[in-house]
Amino acid sequence: GVPLRTFLDRAGVDINQARRLRFFGDDGFANNLTLARVFDAEDTIGPLLVTHLNGEPLRPEHGAPVRLIVPEMYGFKNVKWLTRVEATASDAAFGTYQDAGFDDDGVTRTVSRITRPLQAATIGAGRVEAVGFAVSGFAPIERVELAVDGGAFMPVEIVSLEEISAAEPLVASALQVMEGRTFPFRSVWVKWRAVLDLAPGPHTLQLRAVDALGNEQPETDTTIADGINAWPRIQVEAV
């Protein structure tokens, strides 16, 4: 795709006058970004106007022909089927979700997930491998920790980029984006794993993550307006 910064430059947008950009999708959905976010000097990726995914033209269900992608933000900021971009001097929040009471910043809170074993699964007792993902839109993930049956949280292994790349070869565009950056990356999911020794019976697994800025995943969170990201908890039965 095209960096949003490049698009604005070629469109002749006066970045000294504009405060926000408003984005409109063909389905009537709308959202916005601040100019400060677009020109964040700390971000080497920046928002993109995307036309391809994994080297292939974007499919309609993914937002073709053009979709806005802001890597560190929730999906409601990533407008699909983009038809119009407006620059405005107004600094007021704007968008479909904002009208429904959601926070405007849209940055993905520190969050982690257990993807195996599954909730309520019956598994073999003894050696069990637990795996999952973690991400933060504010900074790279620094550590992920797992607790079993209410015990102390212990760090799990973050799967290396080399191992991930060997198992799932990355397209050239992804490698280009990562050039000069240190893994793990801000706003990119990391894989984690841990080997557990579970005795027969019921067990509870809890997970939490912390990013490099110290943003911790909270134990509880019921406020959907800024994204629910409480510790995941699952129950399994070892037999």
pLDDT class of 168 with cuts at 50, 70, 90: confident
Q: How far apart, in whole angstroms, are the C-alpha atoms of residue 119 and residue 230?
A: 16
Report, as an integer, the average pLDDT of 36-50. 80
Domains identified in the chain and CATH numbers: 2-99 (3.90.420.10), 111-238 (2.60.40.650)
pLDDT at 42 over 80: no
pLDDT at 214 over 70: yes
Q: Quick one: which H or E segment has residue 190?
A: strand 190-198
Is residue 164 pLDDT above 90, yes or no?
no
Q: Is the pLDDT at 44 greater than 70, yes or no?
A: no
pLDDT at 170 over 60: yes
Give per-residue pLDDT as tens, 105-137. 999 999 999 999 999 999 999 999 999 999 999
Question: Between β-strands 126-135 and 190-198, what pairing exists: parallel, antiparallel or unpaired?
Answer: antiparallel
Residue 41 has pLDDT above 80, yes or no: no
Label residue 55 by pLDDT band (50, 70, 90): confident
- Asked if the model's pLDDT at residue 85 lies above 80, the reply is yes
Report the Cα–Cα distance between both ends of the chain, in Å, rounded. 50
Burial class (CB in 10 A: 0-12, 13-18, 19+), 20: buried
pLDDT at 96: 97
Distance CA 31, CA 35 (A): 13
Classified as helix, coil or strand, 61 is: helix
What is the average pLDDT across 145-167? 93
Query: How would residue 181 be classed by pLDDT, with cut points 50, 70 and 90?
Result: confident
Give the contacts of 40 (CB within 8 A, at least 6 positions apart): 46
Average confidence score pLDDT of the chain: 92
Edge-to-edge strand ranges of the sheet holding 82-88 = 30-34, 20-25, 82-88
Is the CB of residue 4 less than 8 Å from the CB of residue 46?
Answer: yes
How many angstroms separate the CA atoms of 191 and 135, rounded?
9
Residue 158's closest CA among 104, 106, 212?
212
Could you tell me the pTM of the whole model? 0.88
